[in-house]
Structure 1
Amino acid sequence: MRAVYVEQADPTDPLAALRIGERPEPVAPEGWTTVKVEAAALNHHDVWSLRGVGLPADRMPMILGTDAAGVTADGRPVIVHSVISTPGWIGDETYDPKRSLLSELHQGTQAQWLAVPDANLVDRPDFLSAEQAACLPTAWLTAFRMLTHDSGLSGPGTILVQGASGGVASAAIALGRALGHRVWATARTEAKRQFALDQGADAAFEPGARLPERVDAVIETVGEATWSHSLKSLRPGGTVVTCGATSGPNPPADLNRVFFLQLRVIGSTMGTRQELGELLDLLGRTGLRPRADRVLALDDAREGYAAMIEGDLLGKIVLRP
């Protein structure tokens, strides 16, 4: 079958490690199901895998991808929940210390076929296309958990989303608006600031800009480049929720500001299958739908990866095997 995979990591040039070609079709063990993939989305997790971060050489070749929508052998349209918990784990699977994502221990989603645990399949509602559904399991689910489980907000508030055009950030803008928050966003270009407004932001600013007032929560995916601004933008007692560091993982701590203003710094990773169901309910109630920057054939995946690495995208990039 055709697949996008990494055979040998390249820490300095991830595109050089990208391979598109034939891989063996999956064999589903007991308790697993084979899914024909209709759409798979790209995430920065895939770029880290190409760099070899969290993916040692002895697990390669590894098919990339954590997100997929497809159809089971009996014709059931499904969305794949990517968090694989250990057998017997009970409760929030994101807290399982031995959890993994597809494309870490098990082959990923950017292929014609995928094997996944039965418990990780969620019925795909009729109101979502395969391309829309493929955007949900990583970026949209992560944004949803950040805004609900992690933000510290029990009602409408003001949130700042850093780096508005990325997958999680653009989802957070749209979901923040749907959840009733006032949403501000930052972006480097006028086109990306307009995109933020189109996604539902109430205002969009240049990176590092002084805001009209301090916010209740910051959705932080950028890391080093925006961290200081994120902390300075919070009201006393506010929360910065971080799920990534696309500009670098080692921002200045600024601990004086953190303890003096009693700020909360919360890490967030993915979400639960239950939260994926809650996200689907929200989309069904509000009519909100994910936006794909572009939909590409599997063999054109290199174009999508290059755009994601350069930040040349507005929303999610989706592959159709």
Structure 2
Amino acid sequence: MLAATVARFSPDSPLDGLEVGQRPEPEEREHWSTVDVQAATLNHHDLWSLRGVGLRAEQLPMVLGTDAAGVAPDGSRVLVHGVIGADGHGVGPRERRTLLSEKYPGTLAERVAVPTANLVPLPDELSFAEAACLPTAWLTAYRMLFGAGGLTPGDRVLVQGAGGGVATAAIALGAAAGLEVVATSRSAAKRARALELGAAHAVEPGERLPARVDAVVESVGQATWAHSVRSVRPGGTIVVCGATSGDAPPAELTRVFFNEIRVQGVTMGSRDDLAALVRFCARTGLRPVIDSEVPLARVADGLARLEAGEQTGKIVVLP
């Protein structure tokens, strides 16, 4: 089958470590199912893997990808939950949590094997491409807003770095749920797009906000951390899911403890969270923002666009 793999680590130029070619079919395992992938999407996790973060040399070549929607062996439409080992189904209760492409081959392939319990039914209202956007970025944003962030309609949230997958999802989900969303971006075009998605305000990074927010969706890291700490209200929450600009500079602990700010990390969400997100989208008509689509054979083009930060929304890969 055709698949995109990490063939070698390339910390400074991640695409140099990418290979697209034929790989063996997924291994048959008890309590696992092989899904015919109809759509997958790209994440910064793929670029980190190509740089060598989270993988060992002896694991190579490793198939990339954490998101997929497709067809199960029984012919049903399914969405893949890419967290393996969270509840033990299909791997045993003592296996530590990993994402697809960290221990088990990922979704940037014609077929992917996952524990059968990780399959979420996909309603007809969502296309395969739309659904494939949900399991990493949209699921993470959903949990950041309504789980870790504890936000409810009428609350204010700051979303740093409008344009990325998680940030775009957080803007759309927050607006649909009645939150007052403030988004930041260096790009005037991305600020305008954030307003189109439902943000109440879109400002440049570091700009003073109209009012302090109840929570911050932080996925940028070093470039925005100080602004996040200064923008959240006393007793508010900064929810962190990544650091695309690098690890945070000085943590501003004086502000954190004096204002009793809570910092909460999030990595994706549970299978139940994903099922709830699917229902939310199906019932409200909310759909993920798709930046572009690329065939699997030209996945390097999509990864280059992601690395350059040119996308708004998700880049879909079609096997």
Q: TM-score range by the shorter chain?
A: over 0.9
| Per-residue deviation, 1:285 | 2.2
Closer, same or farther in 2 for the Cα pair 1:86/1:275, shift >3 Å? closer
How do 1:207-226 and structure 2 match up within 5 A?
207-226=205-224
**Residue number in structure 2 paired with 1:145:** 143
1:1-321 map, 5 Å? 1-85=1-85, 88=88, 98-321=96-319
Q: 1:100 to 1:220 in 2, by over 3 A?
A: same
SS at match of 1:68: strand
CA contact (8 A) 2:88 2:95 kept: no
The 1:87/1:253 distance shift into structure 2, 3 A limit, reads closer
Offset at 1:144? 0.2
In structure 2, distance between residues paired with 1:249 and 1:18: 25
Deviation at 1:88, TM superposition (A): 4.1
Unaligned runs of 5+ in 2: none
For 1:212 and 1:236, the matched residues in 2 are separated by: 16
Unaligned runs of 5+ in 1: none
2:279 counterpart letter in structure 1 = D
| Structure 1 residue 213 displacement after superposition | 1.1
Q: 1:89-143: per-residue Cα shift (whole Å, max 9, x none)?
A: 7xxx9xx881111000000000001111000001111000000000000000000
Residue identity matched to 2:45: H
Please give the secondary structure, in 2, of the residue aligned with 1:69.
Answer: strand
Kindly state the Cα deviation for residue 155 of structure 1 after the two structures are TM-superposed.
4.6
**2: CA distance, partners of 1:259 / 1:126:** 48
Contact 1:224 1:252 (8 Å CA) reproduced: no
Q: Give the drift of 1:28.
A: 2.2
User: What SS is found at the alignment partner of 2:211?
Assistant: coil
CA–CA separation in structure 1 for the residues paired with 2:278 and 2:129: 14
Whole-angstrom distance in 1 between the partners of 2:241 and 2:220: 9
Indicate if the aligned counterparts of 1:40 and 1:131 stay in contact, CA closer than 8 A: yes
Instruction: Report the aligned-residue RMSD.
Output: 1.4
Q: CA deviation at 1:154?
A: 4.5
Structure 1 residue 282, shift from structure 2 partner: 1.1
Give TM-score scaled by structure 1 length.
Answer: 0.96
Task: Measure the CA separation in 1 of the matches of 2:73 and 2:259.
Answer: 55
* Partners of 2:126 and 2:282 within 8 A in 1: no
Distance 2:310 2:87 in 1: 40
- The alignment partner of 1:218 has SS state of strand
Percent sequence identity is: 57
How many pairs does the alignment contain? 316
